[in-house]
Amino acid sequence: MTFFKTNFILLLFTCLITNISQAQKVDSTGITIAEIKIIHSTILNENRKIYVYTPVNHSEPLPVIYLMDGEMIALVAGIVDFLYQVNQFPPMIVVGIGNYEYDRARDLTTSHSFLNMDGTTDSLFWKTSGGGKNFLKFLKDELMPFVEKNYNTSPNKIFFGHSLGGLMTSYCLLNHPEMFNSYIAVSPALWWDKESIFTNADSLLQNKALKNKAFFFSDGNEGAEFHKGVIKLQSLLLQKKITGLRYKYIAYSEETHNSELVKATQDGLNFVFENWKPAKSDTTVDLIVKFYQKRSEQNGFQELPPEQLINEMGYKFLNVPNKLDEAIKFFELNTKNYSASFNAFDSLGDGYAAKGYKEKAIVAYKKAIEINPNAEDTRKKLKALE
C-alpha cells in the first residue's frame, strides 16, 4: 500500500521558467530550505528575490504564507515543515519576499517620515520611506499571480510580517483586508510616523471585508513604544466587536524583539488554523464532508478535506473488520477531490482489492500508473490481479 512520503530534509523540485533565475536557500546545517527565484517587478522597477518552500508529495492545492523579510524563511519554513509532519499544521507553501537586501525602509513603511521610534530624526536611513503602497501593489498584481500560476495554491492566503513587516501586515488588514484571509503581525512597528496607521482606523474597521478574516498580533519586551501601539490596536478591536473577525493578541514579556519570532510563528499559525482537523468522533465520510463545508462557510472560501487526512482514515478502516465499505468511501472521496493524484487512485485500488472488486481495482491501479508511470509497486499489484 502506498502512503505519502515525507522527509524532514526539505527537497524542493524546481522547473525552468523563462526570465527567472534559480538557486537554493540553505540553512546553517546545509539542509535545503527553499528554492530562490528572481522575478522582475515593473511596479517597483527592479528584480526581486523570493524564497519558495513547498512540502514534498502533495498534489492538492495548498495554503500560502506570504512572508515579508523572506531572508528568515529558514525559521518559518522549518517550523511549518516540522509541525506539518507531526500533523499539527496542514501542509503549506511559504513564499518569502526578500526585503533586507533591497530598500526595506521604502517597502515596509506606509508613510514618509524621518522619525525614529524614540522621536529622533534620521534623514539618511528613512529618506526613501513611505513606499508600502507600491510594495502591496507588487504583491497583489505581480507576485501573487506568479505564485498562483507556478504552484498549486488554494484560495487561503496568509500575510506574515515582523517589526516593520508587522506594520505592513496591520496596514494591509485595515486598508486592504480582501488581499489575504489571515494576518500575522509579530511586534508590529505601529509607532511609525507618530502612529499614523491609526488615522481613520475607526472608519476602516467598519469594512465588511473584515468578515471571515483572522488576525494574530504580539509583542515582546521591546518597551513602551512597541507595547503602546499593540495595546491601542487591541483596545480598538475590543471596542468595535467586528462581526466575523477572529483576532488574538499575545504579549511575550520574557522574549526579545527577535526571539519572540520563534514562539509567535507557532502560536500565530495555531490560531489561524484553529480547529483545522475534524474531531476524533467524526469517523464517517459524511461527517468529514460536513466539517469542511462548515469551515468553508466560516472562512469565506472552499476548503477541501486534506488528501493525506482522508487517505489515512481510509487505511485505518481498511484494517477494521466490516469497515471496508467506509474505507472505500474515503478513497473515492480523494479521487473525486484530487483527480490528478497518483496516490489517491493507488489507495482506491487497494480498497477495491481488499473488498474483492477485482475489475474496479484494476481500473484504479491503471489510472494511478497513467498519472505516475514510474510506480513500480502499483505495477506489481496490477500484475498480480491480472
pLDDT tens string 137-196: 999 999 999 999 999 999 999 999 999 999 999 999 999 999 999 999 999 999 999 999
> Which residues make up the CATH 3.40.50.1820 domain(s) of the chain?
22-272
- Residues 285 and 310: their CA atoms lie apart, in Å, by 9
Instruction: Confirm if 165 and 99 have CB atoms less than 8 A apart.
Output: yes
The cell numbers describing 200, all together, are: 481613520
- Whether the pLDDT of residue 15 is over 50: the answer is no
Mean pLDDT estimate for the chain: 88
Residue 280: which residues within 8 A CB-CB, separation 6 or more? none
Q: Is the pTM of this model over 0.95?
A: no
- CATH class given for the domain over 22-272: alpha beta
Work out the average pLDDT over 342-353.
95
Residue keyed to cell 495595546: 231
What residues does CATH 1.25.40.10 cover in the chain?
285-385
What are the pLDDT digits (tens) for 19-53? 333 345 665 555 678 899 999 999 999 999 999 99
Q: Which stretches of the chain are DSSP H helices? A: 73-85, 104-107, 132-138, 144-150, 164-175, 192-195, 201-204, 224-240, 260-272, 285-299, 307-318, 324-337, 342-355, 358-371, 376-385
Domain spanning 285-385 has what CATH number?
Answer: 1.25.40.10
Q: How far apart are CA 127 and CA 305, in angstroms?
A: 49
**What DSSP state is assigned to residue 213?**
-
Q: Where are the alpha helices (DSSP H) in 86-121?
A: 104-107
